[in-house]
A and B are shown apart, each in its own frame.
Chain A
Amino acid sequence: MASWKIFKEHWVVISLYLALSVFFLAGGLWSALIYGSVVKAQTTVVLENAVEGVALLPNGSLELTFNIDAVNPTQFRLNIVSLDWSVYLTNSTSRTEPVISLAHVYVGSTIGANVSSGRTQTYSYAAFVSNPATLSKIRGFLNYSAAEGHSYTLESAPYIHEFRFYAWIDDFTHNYDTEEYLNELVTIDTRYITGGTT
């Protein structure tokens, strides 16, 4: 009874503030659900179907190829910041050069590329190793491996492919210099390394 009396006495103010309250509640719930979707997107965007290839060309050069799919099942567009592909051989017995770098391709944000919502984007790379010094390092590795009992060839050597997919989720703009925790929130940073993704 007293409640009705309070409402009757102040119905204009109560109605106005009730509308304001419902508006902010709706805004809060909407924003919270978007936040949940953004956090979930960090785990659902994946790199799949990686195909690594190597071929020895008639002129003695080595052709290295790589294909991978970036799968975006989320409701957001992914604006690519950078794509980074590299191929190398690890030679842990060498103190001077434990990693023999064979190819490296870096594409920055200037390309303006993106992966649309619900789409899969395929990235294909090819590199040729024709530098005699590099090929000689690979052969040195193969010779050493043969001495250790491994029968590698130029085509079957354990080349390691690394691919890094770095993108912003949609257009959630903020101050990128001071609000670092928001950078992490809207970032997709997933990597493929021969044998699996991280």
Chain B
Amino acid sequence: MRLKGEDLKIMLLSTLLSATPIAFMTFDFMFPNISFPSLNKNLLAEFLLSILIGMPSGYIARRTDVAMMTVITYVALGYTLAVVFYSVPYTVYNLHLLLSQFYYMLFFRITILLLFFFVLGGFIGTIFGQMIRDSIQKEETGLDFPEDPKNKPLTQEELESR
């Protein structure tokens, strides 16, 4: 997979657009009682939202492999951001963390399932995004090049008269 400068820019843009919802959903899944607005651990809602979040990478990127790679990068960045949110009591509020391995292992154990949903939903979202882009392009092409009456297919009567 060879990436050009424009591909990297598209990846970066799509990653920045889609990473924060992933971070929020992950954190919300960990603490549905204190986060707002909460999805209350509704996996169907998480999955549908991850499809929606995957759409811009498929819509903006022309290459499918770039779109797929973008899904991986924004899920990774979003999950990392969620870990940063999870660390707030010990970074912002200066509390002392005991047994950090267990603390982060708990987060990983509870939210690991979501990574699968985010990646799968993201891939499906890119497909939808590409379909929408192709549909819009087809529509635009149709408007730019209206049908020429001369090139219209002949009707049965016209054929018979000839």
Contact = CB atoms under 8 A, between A and B. Distances in A.
B33 to A, nearest CB: 4
A186 B35 contact: no
B20 A31 contact: no
B34 A35 contact: yes
A24 B33 contact: no
Contacts of B35: 27-28, 31, 34-35
Contacts of B106: 181
Contacts of A27: 24, 35-37
A24 B93 contact: no
A35 B31 contact: yes
Nearest to A174: B33
Given A10-B59, A27-B37, A28-B81, A40 B27 contact: no
A40 B16 contact: no
Contacts of A30: 36
Interface in B92-123: 92-93, 95, 106, 110
Contact of B93 (A18, A36, A181, A186): A36
A40 B92 CA distance: 11
Nearest to B82: A28
A182 B31 contact: yes
Interface in B1-27: 5-6, 9-10, 13, 16-21, 23-25, 27
A182 B20 contact: no
Given A24-B24, A174-B32, A36 B56 contact: no
A3 B93 CA distance: 38
| Chain A, interface residues (CB within 8 Å), range | 35 or more
A115 B81 CA distance: 35
A38 interface: yes
A41 B60 CA distance: 45
Contacts of A20: 17, 21
Given A6-B9, A28-B85, A39-B95, A21 B34 contact: no
A145 to B, nearest CB: 40
A111 interface: no
Interface string B27-70: 11001111111000000000000000000100110000000000
30 contacts: A3-B9, A3-B13, A6-B9, A6-B60, A10-B59, A14-B13, A14-B60, A18-B17, A20-B17, A20-B21, A21-B16, A21-B18, A21-B21, A24-B24, A25-B20, A25-B24, A28-B20, A28-B85, A31-B24, A31-B27, A31-B28, A31-B34, A32-B27, A32-B88, A33-B92, A34-B34, A35-B86, A36-B88, A40-B93, A40-B95
Interface of B: 5-6, 9-10, 13, 16-21, 23-25, 27-28, 31-37, 56, 59-60, 81-82, 84-86, 88-89, 92-93, 95, 106, 110
